[in-house]
């Protein structure tokens, strides 16, 4: 293969555009429980049950997506082709937030079908292919910079989402078709972002030896995953990460409406998002000094402490903004490292098994994401139900107020503690240089 040249600056921005679209969809879906309970008359328990049942289907589609992606190598690019899915992804999101005014059974069927179409099918292929998109579009020495640009871009647009969404909910949330309008406002630019990456960012030429020489089966993928202890540990961390993001996004609407007293105050949290950009700019240097895994450990510890810190002054907007800033800085270290850690697991898998599967390891990312999303949504709905929350009531009982407060503080801190425990056994990074030398020697000998 010809020597890989570092991509032009626009390549990093194009890659970031696709990730921004996917990440904003993920964040926007986190508001689904709130929309269903407060605008469409569906109970928190019913919504959470739908999300949990959907994870059973997800377990099958994640493995199937890994097999399909590994076996199919279209001319436009093995991972690039899935950039086209940004269009149906956002179209289905709009429909998901457009629950018709029909009977309760029909409403639940509508949500179940569209939620699974979005998360179990479309988002699955996008998520599984994403680490390969990075690996196949940029040489190794450029990936850290690409992820820095991607993280900063994601933060900027998350800030825009975080600032505008509460105001849009306040204005349109209770109106007929209000959520359809809200979803469409974000969908149009995000579809453009995703399609820009498909048309303007090609994949690099690939080494012949890196290509799959036989048709992979589901058994090959499952065997590769079971034999990769680091992929399994990473999966535990990612489940906690996804549950944290889902529950934080879903709970903050309730927290600011019923604890702080004004959902519009949530927009102030976007100030912390803006400041996080400066922290993310320092992550590459921090990573060079500490390493990828240790940087994540540092970040998750900060997030855990910040979540507990919210209990100190739960009705002080400035204090909440500071704690949200610290929590976001911490969790962004893991968001930053996700594709890089996945690529590390791929390297370990090739070294240990000699099986050149790639997308199979990305299924850990996808399955953990959506298992965490489903579990987080279910736990959120179940705890709200246990607390006797009723979205049709303007004033909630003390039990509901207490559970909302715990969901925004203690529960996410506990998730970070579990992730840190799993990371204590993750020592792959120090072994990678020797593994890469062994793999290079094997390629040379063939």
**3-state helix/strand/coil string of 177-193:** CHHHHHHHHHHHHHHHH
DSSP-derived secondary structure letter, 227:
T
Distances (CA, A) of 398 to 134, 259, 386: 48, 11, 12
Q: Note down pLDDT in tens along the chain; length 446 residues.
A: 344 444 455 799 999 999 999 999 988 998 998 999 989 999 988 988 888 788 777 767 877 888 888 888 899 999 999 999 999 999 999 999 999 999 999 999 999 999 999 988 999 899 889 988 998 999 888 888 898 899 889 888 988 898 899 899 989 988 889 999 999 999 999 999 999 999 999 999 876 444 444 566 667 677 777 788 898 899 999 999 989 988 887 788 889 888 888 888 887 787 777 778 888 888 888 988 998 999 999 999 999 999 999 999 988 999 998 999 999 999 989 988 888 888 888 888 888 877 666 667 777 777 787 778 778 888 888 898 899 888 777 788 889 889 999 999 999 999 999 999 999 999 888 888 888 888 878 777 65
Residue entry with tokens 């506990």:
414
CA–CA separation, 182 and 165 (whole Å): 8
- For 350-418, the DSSP string reads HHHH-----HHHHHHHHHHHHHHHHHHHHHHHHHHHHTT--TT-SS--HHHHHHHHHHHTHHHHHHHHH
H or E, element range at 232? helix 229-255
H or E, element range at 224? helix 218-226
Residue 444, phi-psi category: left (phi > 0), alpha (psi -120 to 50), beta (remainder): alpha
In sequence order, which residues have a C-beta less than 8 Å from that of residue 56 and are 6 or more positions away? Answer: none
What dihedral angle (degrees, nearest 10) is formed by the CA atoms of 38, 40, 43, 47? -110
Exposure letters 203-233 (e unless 16+ CB within 10 A, then b): bbeeeeeeebeeebeeebbeebbeebebbeb
DSSP-derived secondary structure letter, 120:
I
Distances (CA, A) of 245 to 133, 327, 369, 439: 23, 11, 10, 36
Distances (CA, A) of 188 to 25, 88, 184, 273, 368: 12, 12, 6, 23, 28
Number of CB atoms found within 10 A of residue 431's CB? 14
Distances (CA, A) of 41 to 33, 36, 346: 11, 6, 45
**Positive or negative, the Cα torsion across 98, 100, 101, 102?**
negative
Which is nearest to 243 in space by CA: 336, 378, 123? 378
Which is nearest to 359 in space by CA: 68, 18, 75, 143? 68
């Amino acid at each position: 293969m010809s020597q890989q040249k570092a991509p032009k600056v626009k390549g990093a921005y194009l890659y970031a555009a696709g990730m921004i679209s996917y990440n904003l969809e993920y964040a926007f879906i986190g508001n689904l429980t709130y929309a269903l309970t407060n605008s469409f008359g569906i109970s928190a328990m019913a919504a959470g049950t739908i999300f949990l049942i959907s994870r059973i289907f997800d377990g099958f589609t994640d493995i199937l997506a890994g097999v399909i992606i590994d076996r199919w190598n279209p001319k436009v690019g093995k991972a690039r082709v899935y950039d086209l899915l940004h269009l149906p992804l956002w179209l289905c999101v709009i429909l998901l937030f457009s629950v018709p005014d029909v009977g309760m059974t029909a409403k639940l069927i509508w949500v179940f079908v569209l939620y699974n179409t979005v998360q179990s099918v479309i988002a699955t292929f996008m998520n599984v292919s994403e680490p390969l998109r990075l690996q196949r579009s940029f040489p190794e020495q450029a990936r850290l910079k690409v992820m820095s640009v991607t993280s900063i871009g994601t933060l900027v647009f998350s800030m825009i989402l975080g600032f505008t969404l509460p105001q849009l909910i306040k204005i349109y949330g209770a109106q007929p078709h209000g959520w359809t309008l809200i979803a469409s406002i974000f969908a149009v630019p995000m579809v453009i972002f995703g399609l820009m990456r498909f048309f303007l960012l090609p994949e690099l030429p690939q080494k012949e030896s890196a290509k799959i020489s036989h048709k992979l089966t589901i058994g090959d993928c499952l065997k590769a995953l079971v034999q990769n202890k680091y992929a399994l540990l990473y999966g535990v961390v990612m489940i906690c990460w996804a549950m944290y993001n889902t529950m934080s996004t879903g709970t903050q609407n309730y927290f600011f409406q019923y604890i702080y007293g004004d959902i519009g105050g949530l927009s102030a949290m976007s100030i912390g998002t803006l400041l996080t950009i400066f922290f993310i700019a320092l992550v590459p240097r921090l990573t060079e000094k500490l390493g990828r895994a240790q940087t994540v450990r540092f970040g998750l510890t900060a997030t855990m402490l910040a979540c507990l810190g919210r209990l100190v002054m739960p009705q002080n907007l400035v204090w909440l903004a500071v704690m949200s800033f610290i929590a976001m800085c911490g969790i962004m270290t893991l968001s930053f490292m996700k594709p890089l850690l996945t690529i590390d697991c791929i390297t370990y898998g090739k070294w240990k098994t000699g099986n050149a599967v790639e997308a199979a390891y990305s299924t850990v990312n996808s399955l953990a994401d959506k298992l965490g999303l489903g579990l987080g949504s279910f736990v959120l709905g179940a705890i709200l139900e246990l607390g006797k929350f009723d979205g049709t009531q303007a004033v909630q009982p003390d039990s509901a107020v207490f559970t909302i407060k715990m969901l925004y503080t203690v529960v996410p801190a506990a998730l970070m503690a579990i992730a840190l425990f799993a990371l204590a056994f993750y020592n792959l990074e120090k072994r990678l240089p020797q593994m890469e030398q062994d793999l290079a020697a094997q390629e040379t000998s063939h």
